[in-house]
Amino acid sequence: MTSPANAPRPKRKIWNFTPQLPIQTSPYWDWPLRPLASIKYLLQSWNPLALRALLLGFAIITWNFFTPSLDRIATLSWDWVAEIWFRNFCILMVVAGGLHLALWKFRTQADEYRYDMRPMMKGAKVFTFKNQVWDNMFWTLGPALTFWTFWESFILYAYANGWVTMITLDGNPVTFLLMTIFIPIWAGFHFYWLHRLLHVGVLYTKVHAWHHRNINTGPWSGLAMHPVESFFLMFDTMIFFLLPSHPVLALFLLFHHGIGAPTSHAGFENIKFGNKAKFLVGDFFHQLHHRFFDCNYGTWETPWDEWFNTFHDGTDEGNEMVKERRRKIWAAE
């Protein structure tokens, strides 16, 4: 008989909420190819009430009503740059600030759909001002906002001066549609390889470790990172020097980071509206990365985590896979 003193400890519950496990990545890269499954996934990812379609819709609204004209932008001037900075500041205050107030400050849905029950940290020396939220706001509204404005201003200036090829929906409908579909995949491609590089050696210890102070994340955590990482996060806009596109699609790409990062780091799977309605904002795939570090470097739509055996599917077996991988990494050092 096992005495109470020697009885195995019950497993500590890691998550308050998870989506259905094991989580599944997109079928785009499966072999043998699964064309019907890929088309179904693509259509679902463009659900008009899902975040991706809303980002595109917001990019269209932003371009038409809240962006200086290309005629003004053609001449470099601080006034239109300041307008873009202020507009992006307002976006962050509404998206990151609004999510923080609703989910973390006023707890409008208590802990329903919350991934990790640990609170935002206070009194921890690892954070600027010894406060996780203040730290995250500082690095988001400082370097991250500045570099977002820089890359947006630069690519719009390039369009205004004819440095890049501009197409329109009326003149090039097929290319415009293909670029619209391509942009989320390109954003994931860029994110994976930048992120993977940042997990190597001194780039991790001196740069990316700043972001990983946020083991549990909130909306302000998404863009809270070292200035070097903030600078290169939106470097993917340089794709428009190679491929024909339109400024509204450049905004769409930038919003994948500027808006997508605060939502994916919200710490909750869904926002509740009333008793039944809900809106998906969280990203459990990436939440696993913040918890276990050595897994899920990419996105749902990038294949390399599965190809390189770093995919964590959220199950206990995935936990063991990460532990074993970590042991091998430490043994090799």
Q: What is the pLDDT of residues 171-205, one digit of tens each?
A: 999 999 999 999 999 999 999 999 999 999 999 99
Q: Which residues of 205-231 are buried (b: 16+ CB within 10 A; e: fewer)?
A: eebbbbbebbebbbbbbbbbbbebbbb
Asked whether residue 28 is domain-assigned, the answer is no
Query: Mean pLDDT score of the chain, rounded to an integer?
Result: 95
Report how far apart, in Å, the C-alpha atoms of 181 and of each of 260, 264, 267, 274, 326 are. 16, 20, 27, 32, 36
Report the pLDDT value the prediction gives residue 275, as an integer from 0 to 100: 86
What digits encode the pLDDT tens for the residues 127-167? 999 999 999 999 999 999 999 999 999 999 999 999 999 99
**Quick check: 109 pLDDT over 70?**
yes
Residues spanned by the domain of 217: 58-332
Q: How many CB atoms sit inside 10 A of residue 112's CB?
A: 14
Contacts of 51 (CB under 8 A, 6+ apart): 260, 263, 279, 280, 281
pLDDT for 201: 94
pLDDT of 214 > 50? The answer is yes
pLDDT surpassing 80 at residue 5: no
pLDDT of residue 133: 98
Question: Rounded to the nearest 5°, which phi and psi values hold at 164?
Answer: -125, 160
Judge whether 22 lies within some domain: no
pLDDT, tens digit, 9 for 90 and up, residues 94-106: 999 999 999 999 9
Is residue 218's pLDDT more than 90?
yes
Number of domains in the chain: 1
For 330, half-sphere exposure in the C-beta direction (CA atoms, 13 angstrom radius) is 7
In this predicted structure, the answer to whether residue 233 has a pLDDT above a threshold of 50 is yes
**Residue carrying the six token digits 């699964």:** 34
Q: Percentage of the chain surpassing pLDDT 90?
A: 92
Tell me the pLDDT tens digit for each residue of 42-67: 999 999 999 999 999 999 999 999 99
Q: Please indicate, yes or no, if residue 26 is contained in any of the structural domains.
A: no
Task: Give me the pLDDT at residue 330, please.
Answer: 75
pLDDT at 13: 84
pTM: 0.94
Q: Sorting pLDDT into bands at 50, 70 and 90, what band is 1?
A: very low
* Domain-embedded: residue 8: no
Domain membership of residue 113 (yes or no) is yes
Q: What average pLDDT does this structure show over 232-244? A: 98
Residue 10 pLDDT > 60: no
Return the pLDDT at 9. Answer: 56
Q: pLDDT: is 1 or 100 the higher one? A: 100
The pLDDT of residue 2 is above 60:
no
Q: How far apart are CA 6 and CA 251, in angstroms?
A: 59
Per-residue pLDDT, averaged over 9-26, amounts to 88
How far apart, in Å, are the Cα atoms of 251 and each of 61, 122, 152, 241, 245? 10, 35, 7, 15, 11
Does position 118 have pLDDT exceeding 90, yes or no?
Answer: yes
